[in-house]
Amino acid sequence: MRFDLITLFPEMFAAVRDQGVTGRAYARGIWSLGLWNPRDFTEDVHRTVDDRPYGGGPGMVMMAEPLVRAVHAAQAARQCARGNADIGPAPVVLLSPTGRPFDQAAAQAWSQSAGAIFICGRYEGVDQRFIDQHVTHEISLGDYVLSGGELGAMVIMDSIVRLLPGVLHDAQSAEQDSFNPALTGLLDSPHYTRPEVWRDQAVPAELLSGHHAQIARWRRRQSLSLTATRRPDLITAARARGELSPDDEAWLVTLGAA
Ligand code: 9WO
């Protein structure tokens, strides 16, 4: 797995490269990173990467030429790193609020790939001609606007890297994730740790019982309750896929959420 970032702020990516689960996986060589600053692909004395929008309006627009040169450098470096195994050019991904909504199924699919080149926009946006000719995927993380694509790229990288084989200590912890399609796409149940009583609040007795079947049933019901309250759309989707058992349906009736 290799990610290449086209970014005016390469230093930001130290966060995902050096810290936590993704940092350990990077140190172990499970994924690698290429950082490409469009400013390094300019030829004027001011190293200009942006210009005023045609038609007027506020702010500046990222110029196409430095971006294309950076993408070509990234594609060439990936090709070199692969040696003889030519698997074709990498996908070129733009983080944008107008992109396709990202979800856990998309993270799973990307985790089976060789990675991608991410375009991290800044200013008011990116020259549309670059997008039309070079971007293969547009991805949105939600209905809000950021000041740049970098944090979005890091969110996506984090969600993919933690799914790679050997990254999580416990293979079960990814399987139990909220939204995992294998877990019927419900929200995860609540977690508790020591002490058993904290500021007068006890851990639910079911979790202390030691009966695995009883614990599993309690967690399943908690998942159903939480999902029915917070994300009823996920209940509807799981039901449509035939992933709710008669026991699940009975519990939802008990909740008054069926
Ligand atoms: C911003 C924008 C706003 C309304 C409609 C379309 C739009 N496209 C962009 C865009 O591509 N902006 C660039 C990247 C430059 C400015 C900062 N950028 C950005 C990406 N802001 N917000 C995002 C983003 C990415 C993924 N999910 C949500 C927001």
CB atoms within 10 A of CB 173: 10
Q: Which of 49-58, 81-90, 192-201, 233-242 is predicted with the least confidence, judged by mean pLDDT? A: 81-90
**112: three-class secondary structure by DSSP:** coil
Rounded Cα–Cα distance for residues 1 and 112 (Å)? 9
Query: What pLDDT is stored for residue 94 in this prediction?
Result: 98
Confidence of residue 74 (pLDDT cuts 50, 70, 90): very high
Give the residue-averaged pLDDT of 20-25.
Answer: 98
pLDDT tens for residues 180-195? 655 569 999 999 999 9
Query: What pLDDT is stored for residue 112 in this prediction?
Result: 98
Report the candidate in 184, 227, 187, 221 with the shortest Cα–Cα distance to residue 204: 221
Classify residue 178 as exposed, middle or buried by CB count within 10 Å of its CB (0-12, 13-18, 19+).
Answer: middle
Is a pLDDT exceeding 70 seen at residue 57?
yes
- The model carries a pTM of 0.94
**52: three-class secondary structure by DSSP:** coil
Q: Which of 146, 147, 156 to mutate to test the pocket of ligand 1 (most atoms within 8 A of CB)?
A: 146
First to last CA, the chain: 43
Query: What pLDDT is stored for residue 86 in this prediction?
Result: 79
Query: What pLDDT is stored for residue 180 in this prediction?
Result: 64
Q: What b-and-e string marks burial along 104-117, b requiring 16 or more CB atoms within 10 Å of the CB?
A: bebbbebbeeebbb
Query: What pLDDT is stored for residue 58 in this prediction?
Result: 97
**98: three-class secondary structure by DSSP:** strand
> Looking at the DSSP assignment, which residues form a beta bridge with residue 137?
93
Is a pLDDT exceeding 90 seen at residue 242?
yes
Alpha carbon separation from 160 to 141, 155, 182, 226, 236 (Å, rounded) = 14, 9, 16, 25, 26
Element (H, E) at 119: strand 115-119
Query: What pLDDT is stored for residue 123 in this prediction?
Result: 97
Query: What pLDDT is stored for residue 243 in this prediction?
Result: 96
Ligand 1 near 101 CB (within 6 A): no
Query: What pLDDT is stored for residue 83 in this prediction?
Result: 85
pLDDT tens for residues 155-182? 999 999 999 999 998 766 666 677 765 5
Report how far ligand 1's centroid is from the alpha carbon of 108 (Å): 23
Give the residue numbers marked as catalytic: 97, 124, 162, 177
pLDDT tens for residues 76-94? 999 999 987 778 999 999 9
Rounded Cα–Cα distance for residues 249 and 211 (Å)? 23
Element (H, E) at 35: strand 32-36
Sheet of 32-36, strand order: 32-36, 2-6, 115-119, 92-101, 137-140
**Residues of the chain above pLDDT 90, percent:** 91
Instruction: Extract long-range pairs of 237-243: CB within 8 Å, 24+ residues apart.
Output: 237/185, 238/184, 238/185, 238/186, 241/184, 241/185, 243/184, 243/185
Ligand 1 near 80 CB (within 6 A): no
